[in-house]
Structure 1
Amino acid sequence: MTTLTAARERPRPVRRTRKTHARRREGLTALGMAAPAVVLLIVFVVVPLALTFALAFTDARLISPTPARFVGLDNFTRLFQDPVFFKSLRNTAYFAAVVVPLQGGLALVLALLVNAKVRGVNFFRTVYFLPVVTSMVVVSLLWTFLYRQDGLVNHVLSALTLGHVEGRDWLGDPATAMPAIILMSVWQGVGFHMIIWLAGLQTIPAELYEAADLDGATRWHRFRHVTWPGLRATRTFVLITITIQALGLFTQINVMTEGGPLDSTTTVVYQAMRTGYEQQQTAYAASISLVFFVLVLAVSLVQRFLTREKD
């Protein structure tokens, strides 16, 4: 009996060994597939963040024969006494405060329109999404020509007002430069978030709308009690992504105004780039970037807290 029992149990360690080898192979395969993403994350996120943190406490310059020295909090003391930094911070906050609700709301309206089952709706979806696939540099150059004093915008305004409104240099006036960039940015980015809203709308069960129709609900009540609650996760994603994109405003400023006129369009990201590369003050630019990173993180956490699902 003992011999028979031992003979039956002999293959079990072999099966366990095979299972162990299979699990190891699966683990190595998963590690190999994740390795490229992990390496890119380390190289382009972790390492730059660590270097930024280290350089912010030194006097390092982009090109300098002398080695960097530790200066403590000198860069941050200078930063919080810099009027250009506070002006760029106000410009960034102003841009985000206008773009986030305007672009998000307009994208939702467009999504509701193209969600209707009518002929030709795919054409309008393509037209609204077309600016998104166009390079921001190309769009910025195009709108720069439109905003010129002899550009199309002024010609249209003159034609509509029968010559009573004179043309102006929209990007050369501190009062109109940032609103002009806001208009262009909303036009370029609204199509992307329209698609996100549209995806959220199509996840709402049709039975809820049928029940609302049976109850005699108006369009406003259908939107308020069915559509809007069904877009809870979607609006959180849209809110956070638009805010992060707005706070990272750079390309439009770099191409269209270069921070002018009179720093009226200078943003925090553009100031950090100009300080680090044009003025070659790498350490000071690192301190700007580090403070901005903390501010964006705080804003994102507050938004996530306010839009969380409540029991």
Structure 2
Amino acid sequence: MKKNRNQIIGYFFIMPAIILLLLFLFIPAGMSIYYSFTNYNILAPQDRVFIALQNYVQIFKDPVFIKGLQNVLLFVVFIIPIQVGLALGLALIVNKKRPWNTFFKVAFFAPVVVSLVVTSVLWLYIVNPEQGLLNGLLSLVHIKPQPFLTSEKQAMFVIIGLSAWQGAGYQMLIFLAGLQNIPAELYEAATIDGANKWQQFLNVTLPMLKPTSVMILTTTFISAFKLITQPMVMTQGGPMNSTMTPVYYIYRTGFTDRQLGYASAMSVIYGLLIIIFTVIQRKLSGKEDLSHD
């Protein structure tokens, strides 16, 4: 009797979380799947009809969606090594006891607490082709002004740089926690064995940070696929769709063009792609862990 009572009390405690998941995750996901098989237009909901797989067929013929996939894959390929490497480097810097260490921790973490919209607007002024700070600095070393966000070749790399700078501070703290959990005895033993600082980093620091690194890689990987704020604020997907991403295209299709049925189909396809890529990434990380055991 007491066991049943405890179970009922436990259900009451988790009920708010279950209700929130139903309202904001499972029910919207189910509605999105249903709408993906219709021609639902927000402005004419009464004209909604079932069109089977037409939306899904159209997706794979949509050059903008395909371009968005290419752009986000380019973003993922570059942002993961740059941002994770930067975060690890910053963590190694602040892990040592030195004057002004607290200041550096706050300074490195500060971009994380600033709104990404505000950060994107700030960078618009920095990379302005005509009066931007960055071109001003380049002129000091006799480098001609760069187009940056107005160039199809440079715009995505500007967004990659902004994203790495903005997000590295959060991952730095996670790496810092991992570094501080490494027993000092391991470094002492490595020093006695004649290992220099670089050898200690390769043979002690990196292996001990492996669980932390896998977690950071997974979260960075998933977050990179959700890229929307920076292109929306800085380029609106241009120039020539060179910074268009699937999430931004889904948003624009659903809420600007009002084609909610087609946007729902794209969200279903893109969600499945993220799941597949995440599973592959986790499998590869797991195999790498086993190969080092």
- Superposition TM-score tier, normalisation by shorter sequence: over 0.9
TM-aligned CA deviation for residue 64 of structure 1:
0.4
Conserved? CA contact 1:272–1:289, under 8 Å: yes
The one-letter code sitting in structure 2 at the alignment partner of 1:154 is: N
**Structure-2 residue corresponding to 1:41:** 21
TM-aligned CA deviation for residue 224 of structure 1:
1.4
Q: Distance in 2 between matches of 1:165 and 1:218?
A: 40
Q: Distance in 2 between matches of 1:169 and 1:138?
A: 21
Say if 2:124 is the partner of 1:144: yes
The one-letter code sitting in structure 2 at the alignment partner of 1:252 is: Q
For the aligned residue pairs, the C-alpha RMSD in angstroms reads 1.3
Q: Distance in 2 between matches of 1:224 and 1:243?
A: 24
Alignment map for 1:84-123 (pairs within 5 Å): 84-123=64-103
TM-aligned CA deviation for residue 65 of structure 1:
5.1
The one-letter code sitting in structure 2 at the alignment partner of 1:143 is: W
Decide which structure has the larger Cα Rg and report it. 1
Distance 1:233 1:168, change over 3 A: same
The one-letter code sitting in structure 2 at the alignment partner of 1:151 is: G
Say if 2:44 is the partner of 1:64: yes
Say if 2:14 is the partner of 1:28: no
Pick from 202, 205, 209: which aligns with 2:183? 205
Conserved? CA contact 1:91–1:264, under 8 Å: yes
The one-letter code sitting in structure 2 at the alignment partner of 1:305 is: K
TM-aligned CA deviation for residue 33 of structure 1:
2.3
* TM-score for both structures, normalised by structure 1: 0.89
Say if 2:196 is the partner of 1:218: yes
Instruction: Pick which of 172-181 and 31-40 moved more.
Output: 31-40
Q: Distance in 2 between matches of 1:274 and 1:158?
A: 38
Q: Distance in 1 between matches of 2:178 and 2:184?
A: 13
Say if 2:134 is the partner of 1:156: no
In the alignment, structure 2 segments of 5+ residues that lack a partner are none
TM-aligned CA deviation for residue 145 of structure 1:
1.4
Instruction: Pick which of 41-50 and 128-137 moved more.
Output: 41-50
In the alignment, structure 1 segments of 5+ residues that lack a partner are 1-19
Say if 2:55 is the partner of 1:75: yes
Deviations 1:257-287 (A, max 9, x none): 1101111100000000011111111011111
TM-aligned CA deviation for residue 124 of structure 1:
0.7
The one-letter code sitting in structure 2 at the alignment partner of 1:30 is: G
Say if 2:209 is the partner of 1:231: yes
Pick from 237, 261, 271: which aligns with 2:249? 271
Q: Distance in 2 between matches of 1:212 and 1:65?
A: 69
Q: Which consecutive segments of 4 or more residues in structure 1 shift more than 4 A?
A: none
Q: Distance in 2 between matches of 1:256 and 1:290?
A: 26
Conserved? CA contact 1:129–1:191, under 8 Å: yes
Conserved? CA contact 1:150–1:167, under 8 Å: no
Q: Distance in 2 between matches of 1:277 and 1:94?
A: 26
The one-letter code sitting in structure 2 at the alignment partner of 1:92 is: V
Alignment map for 1:228-307 (pairs within 5 Å): 228-307=206-285
The residue matched to 1:85 in structure 2 has which SS? helix
Identity, % of aligned positions: 41
Deviations 1:201-246 (A, max 9, x none): 1111111111111111111211111111111110110101111111
Q: Distance in 2 between matches of 1:253 and 1:226?
A: 40
**Structure-1 residue corresponding to 2:156:** 178
* TM-score for both structures, normalised by structure 2: 0.95
Deviations 1:57-89 (A, max 9, x none): 111111105332111110111110111111010
